[in-house]
Amino acid sequence: MRIGSEEHLTLLCREFIDSHLEFDPNGLPWPALGEDDVAKLRALPFWDEAVRTERRTGAKITAYAPEESPALLREAVALQGFEETRHAGLLDALISHYGIVVDPGPEQPLPTNLQAAFIRTGYGECIDSFFAFGLFAMAEDLEFLPRPLLALLEPIVHEEVRHILFLVNWVAYKRRQEPLPLRPLHVARCVGAFAGAAYDRARSAGNVAGGVSGTSKDGFTASGASAIAGDFSLTGFVGRCLAENERRFAAYDPRLLRPRLVPTAARSFLVLANLQAKARSALRPGAPSPPRSDHPTHDSSSNAA
């Protein structure tokens, strides 16, 4: 299949639409939790940010959908807007059921360039979701919360995988629709959007870490991971994120492109961390040798995003 072809367009839309799950966030069987579990849930540092992000993402994508064509692409983008709005609804239901106090801040006006916002939001999800995959797996491993509750949250993670898969293929499809001389400009716009999304995450990380007493300024992911796992190994966590990333994307048609940038950065981080640990142990004879990464460091993603 040629990237940018009609076949690619149909596959990226059909894979997305056909894997949509039907459920109503207001009818979910929230399990009864003990006092300790409710306290752990309330103490998680990312509720404000999560609710704000899901609400805003749903509004932006829903507003952008009517600008898309052809109809199949419009249907897929509108469905993504629906799913994001439903994520906000699911979080609202959870928050009200367990009495979590959330302050997502005032509603922001929609951006004027909705397509640019769609790309920047999508790249933001590529960053957020990569780490969310690892956090969610860690929460399951450690039984941080009862499994019936984690099972009710799984659809959010499942849908974010599909959103990212859609985004990277949509970007590639749109780029091939541009005349050849204009494609570098498209690449530049995407690089700018990714940098903007990374900047947004860095700023949010400061807000999350700075707004939680007793939490070091490690950022959103680190504060979320340490809230779940206590003292945790950063390299172990990144390795888990990579493994989960591969596992979750393996479920989809191999002809579709996979996100590459964040996983590649994560593999590079693991290689550097391992080299640094080896250098340290070489300078201190008798010190224990560095732990082997629990994830292969080769780049197994076959395509660009």
Q: Which residues contact 141 (CB under 8 A, 6 or more apart)?
A: none
Contacts of residue 244, defined as CB under 8 A and 6 or more positions apart, other chains included, come to 133, 134, 136, 137
15 touching Fe ion, by CB under 5 A: no
Could you tell me how far CA 100 lies from the centroid of its own chain?
Answer: 23
Q: Does 160 bind Fe ion (CB under 5 A)?
A: yes
- For Fe ion, what does the binding mask look like between residues 222 and 261, x meaning CB under 5 A? ----------------------------------------
Cβ 66 to Fe ion shortest distance, Å: 19
Of all residues in the shown chain, the one whose CB is closest to Fe ion is 163
Q: Which is nearer to Fe ion, 53 or 301 (CB)?
A: 53
Stretch in the footprint of Fe ion (CB under 5 A) among 38-46, 53-61, 205-213, 246-254: 53-61
Q: Is 60 in the site for Fe ion (CB under 5 A)?
A: no
Q: Which residue has the tokens 């959010």?
A: 156
Q: Does 86 bind Fe ion (CB under 5 A)?
A: no
Identify which of residues 1 and 21 has a Cβ nearer to Fe ion in the complex. Answer: 21
87 binds Fe ion (CB under 5 A): yes
Shortest distance, position 89 Cβ to Fe ion, whole Å:
11
Q: Is the dihedral of CA 150, 155, 158, 159 positive or negative?
A: negative
From 87, 102, 88, 73, select the one nearest 6 (Cα to Cα).
73
Select from 55, 86, 162, 163 the one that contacts Fe ion (CB under 5 A). 163
Tokens of 86: 């439903």
Closer CB to Fe ion, 4 or 89, in the complex:
89
Shortest Å, Cβ 217 to Fe ion: 25
Least distance in angstroms from the C-beta of 59 to Fe ion: 12
The answer to whether the bond into 70 is cis (omega within 30° of 0) is: yes
DSSP assignment letter at 26? G
3-class SS at 28? coil
Instruction: Check residue 128 for interaction with Fe ion (CB under 5 A).
Output: no
Asked if 305 and 170 touch (Cβ cutoff 8 Å), the reply is no
Q: How many residues does the chain have?
A: 305
CA Rg value for the chain:
20
Closest CA relative to residue 132, chosen from 24, 35, 264, 225: 225
CB of 251 to Fe ion, least distance (A): 16
Q: How far is the CB of 182 from Fe ion (least distance, A)?
A: 28
The smaller minimum CB distance to Fe ion, of residues 125 and 244, is found at 125
Residues within the interface to Fe ion (CB under 5 A): 54, 84, 87, 125, 160, 163
